[in-house]
Every structure is written in C-alpha cells, then in structure tokens.
Amino acid sequence: MVLWSLTMELGGLFATLTIMGVAGYVHTVSGFGLGMIVMGAAGGLGVASVPVLAAVVSLVTLVNSAVALPGRWRGLGTQRIMALAVGIVPSIMVGVWLLSWLDATLTVLLTLLLGALVLSGGISIGLRPRPLRAESPSWTFAVSGFLTGLCGGLFGVPGPPVIYHCYRQPLPLETIRLLLILCFAITSGVRTIYVGSQGGLTGDVWQLALWSMPVVGGATWLGRCFPPPCSAALMRRLAMLTLIGLGAAILLKGVLLLASG
C-alpha cells in the first residue's frame, strides 16, 4: 500500500514532516507534545492510518529521547522510573490489542477516542496542578504508568495521566521534564518491541519513519541547544491551545462520521 497518492505525495509528505519537526521541538523544550501533536495533526489530515501513525510516533519518540536524554537522565530517581515501568509494560499490550480491534471494527469510535485523548491532553496542560508538599508514593507512579501505557498502546501517545501526575510532584521543573521524556522513551520502546513481534512494523511504517527520524532528530537538537526566547508559561499555553484545537477538530470529525453513518 502506498502512503500518499500521486497527486498528494509531496504535499502530504511535506505537511507530515513539518508536523514532526514542530512536535519534536516542542517536546524537547517542554517535555510533552510530540505524540499528541503528531497524532492530532497528521491523524486529522488522514496521511496514514492510526495504527501506522502510532507505530511511527513510537519510533520517532525514541529518536527524540536518544538526542534529548544522554548525560541528563541521572538523578531522576530509580524508584520513580521502576514504578512507572511496572505500570507501563503490561498495559502497552492491552492498548495495542484495543487499537487493532477498534481499527478493524469501530473506526469511528477510534477517531472519537483519539480526539478525546488529544483534547484532554491540552486541558491537562492548562490545569496547572498545585505541587504536593511531599512526593507521592511509588504505587501512584505505577498507576499513572499503567494509564499512560494504555494510551501509548492505543495511539503511541503516553498522554495526560503521567503529565498531570509528574507536575504534581514537588520536583524541579527540569527534573519533571526529563522524567517525562524518559517515561515516553520507555513507553515507545516497549510498544515498538511488542508491535514488531506481532508483525506491525510494516513497510508503510518504516517508509514514514525513515523520512521523519532525521527531521525529529534535528528539531530535538535545535530544542536542546536553542530553546525559545519565550517563557515556559507561554510555551505551555501555546501547547495547550494547539492540542485543544486539534482535539476538538478530531472530535467534530468523528461526530460527523457517526452522523453520516
């Protein structure tokens, strides 16, 4: 199967790579956004199926993490990381199975779930949770990891649960940002291994991923070396509005599909 039709090939490819670059940069400077922006924007354009995009998002997230994390992940806390991983690993498999089933039987519901995830991601960024006085116990990281793995298995997007939970912790913002990037790397790595073992890393996935990886790697390097001159608060606000807009558009698309069906 060809990812882009002959008349839309260059336009679709350019649009997708632009989305990938913007998402990679935002993810690097803020700690979130890559998967949700790509799934929201590229999914809305219909460049590829949701399973293909989810697999590509997992692969390019690994590239983003490989550029963003070296030499900076120490001190994130072994207990936090292990608790997140314990929750993530089993739920990834459940999420991938749900994606396969929904894509084959209930595509409109899959569209609605994607829209809801992107919209809730934007809302969660804007909630500005007040940090707790003491750090939450390890089991709460495992629970947020489980919910994150479920989202990651479905859409390749480790979404709102872990973002909200980490921002509630009384930790430096840089630690939270790097912890989120590491969490997304774990989710993407486990998902990629599992999907690959099921034969899901198809030619379509690799074709789009190989175009996207250098773009995301370059955007990540730019984000690491040249962060934006605006404040972190403004970056959060822009990410919030972008995700809310994308989520609302996808939900509207799903509702229209449901009404027409």
For residues 221 and 161, the model is more confident at: 221
Lowest mean pLDDT among 114-128, 146-160, 190-204: 114-128
pLDDT exceeds cutoff 70 at 190: yes
pLDDT exceeds cutoff 70 at 88: yes
CB 41 within 8 A of CB 19: yes
pLDDT exceeds cutoff 80 at 10: no
pLDDT of residue 91: 92
Q: What is the pLDDT of residues 23-68, one digit of tens each?
A: 888 877 776 667 777 877 776 666 677 788 888 888 888 877 777 7
pLDDT of residue 143: 92
CB 99 within 8 A of CB 54: yes
> Among residues 125, 134, 139, which one has the least CA distance to residue 84?
139
> Among residues 250, 236, 251, which one has the least CA distance to residue 180?
236
Cα 199-150-54 angle, rounded to 5 deg = 45
Of the spans 7-21, 106-120, 205-219, which averages the highest pLDDT? Answer: 205-219
DSSP assignment string, 120-133: HHHHHHHT-PPPPS
Which residues are CB-contacts of 220 (< 8 A; sequence separation ≥ 6)? Answer: 24, 25, 27, 28, 63, 64, 67, 68
Sign of CA dihedral 182, 207, 17, 99: negative
> CB burial class (10 A; 0-12, 13-18, 19+) of residue 151?
buried
Angstrom CA distances, 30 to 61, 74, 157, stand at 14, 19, 15
Rounded to two decimals, the pTM is: 0.78
Report residue 163 as tokens: 């973002």
